[in-house]
């Protein structure tokens, strides 16, 4: 009896490569993927980025640059979901994340845009994104998409394996002290001064060109180099979560997202997650399901 063809067949070599990639992501918490995005998908990513620049959300702000340049960011704009959907519909976006996790279901959490330009800017302090976010789990990913070439000297840097703990207090981005705590109530240990003892840490980084991406777990310690007057760095981060994600309580409310009732805009689901008990399954109908598109929305 002839066996029914149920879909594309995956070779053993491809399975082995995916398994190795998943293991590396689990071990190091960060991977570099050369030419991971097609030209079409990169163009859609840049259009989404430009939309964010033209439509600042409640989290838009200029961070202290400690120089003549501008260090701008915006994140978790409640209006962004509709304008990022075409990008999220590109199969390669969800496929990359699913391969890293070795899991099939991927939800989009929020976007974040960065621009360093117009002169010198400070180094982005070492920090862990998880310190600021009401979520924990293994199946988490930040897809860092550069729109300008970034050489190794000016690259985003990571402490390999640091996503396995401990979780430190967040950086308050104090221009005079990179380790100044965000919360400062003692519930989380203060950030170590990694720059003062770089040789003691397994720091990794990669030169990147448009089309390359770096994907990392939000609990990985990371920081970015300063920029110079002749350099500009434009990046888009897409943040995803999977089925093992749960709500994580944090010492204080560091939300830069829209607070309920503060503006005449829809509240971002990330803000709603902050009000749920620790350990609650992380999910909300407003978080777009990226992969598989036919799967049901995650129940609350």
Q: Where are the domains of the chain?
A: 18-291
State yes or no: pLDDT of 254 exceeds 60: no
Cα separation, 293 vs 81, in Å, equals 15
Give SS3 for 199: helix
| Range from 2-16, 66-80, 123-137 carrying the lowest mean pLDDT | 2-16
CA 197 from centroid of its chain's CA atoms: 26
Q: Which stretches of 64-175 are assigned E, i.e. beta strand?
A: 70-75, 106-117, 124-127, 135-136, 140-146, 156-159
Cα separation, 61 vs 272, in Å, equals 22
Give SS3 for 171: strand
186: left (phi over 0), alpha (psi -120 to 50) or beta: left
What pLDDT does residue 261 have? 37
Q: 68: exposed, middle or buried (C-beta count within 10 Å: 0-12, 13-18, 19+)?
A: exposed
Look up residue 195 and give its two tokens: 């720059």
Which tens digits make up the pLDDT trace of 36-56?
999 999 999 999 999 999 999
The CATH class of the 18-291 domain is mainly beta
Burial 287-297 (b: 16+ CB within 10 A, else e): bbbbbeeeeee
Which tens digits make up the pLDDT trace of 85-129?
999 999 999 999 999 999 999 999 999 999 987 767 778 899 999
What pTM was computed for the model?
A: 0.89
- pLDDT level of residue 142 (50, 70, 90 thresholds): very high
DSSP 49: H
């Amino acid at each position: 009896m002839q066996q029914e063809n149920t879909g594309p067949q995956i070779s053993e070599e491809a399975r082995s490569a995916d398994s190795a990639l998943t293991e590396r992501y689990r071990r190091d918490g960060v991977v570099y993927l050369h030419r991971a995005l097609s030209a079409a998908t990169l163009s859609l990513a840049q259009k989404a980025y430009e939309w964010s620049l033209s439509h600042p959300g409640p989290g838009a702000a200029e961070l202290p640059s400690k120089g003549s340049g501008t260090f701008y960011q915006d994140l978790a704009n409640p209006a962004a979901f509709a304008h990022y959907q075409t990008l999220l519909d590109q199969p390669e976006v969800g496929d990359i994340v699913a391969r890293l996790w070795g899991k099939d279901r991927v939800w989009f959490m929020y976007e974040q845009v960065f621009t360093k330009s117009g002169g010198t800017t400070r180094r982005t302090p070492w920090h862990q994104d998880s310190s600021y976010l009401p979520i924990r789990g293994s199946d988490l990913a930040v897809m860092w998409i550069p729109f300008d070439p970034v050489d190794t000297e000016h690259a985003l840097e990571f402490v390999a394996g640091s996503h396995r703990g401990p979780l430190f207090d967040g950086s308050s981005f104090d221009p005079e002290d990179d380790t100044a705590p965000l919360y400062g109530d003692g519930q989380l240990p203060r950030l170590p001064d990694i720059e003062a003892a770089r040789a003691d840490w397994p720091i990794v980084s990669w030169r990147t060109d448009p089309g390359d991406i770096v994907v990392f777990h939000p609990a990985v310690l990371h920081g970015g180099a300063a920029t110079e007057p002749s350099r500009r760095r434009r990046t888009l981060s897409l943040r995803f979560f999977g089925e093992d994600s749960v709500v994580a309580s944090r010492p204080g409310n560091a939300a830069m997202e829209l607070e309920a009732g503060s503006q005449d805009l829809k509240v971002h689901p990330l803000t709603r997650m902050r009000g749920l008990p620790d350990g609650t399954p992380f999910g909300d109908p407003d978080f777009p399901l990226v992969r598989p598109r036919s799967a049901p929305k995650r129940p609350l």
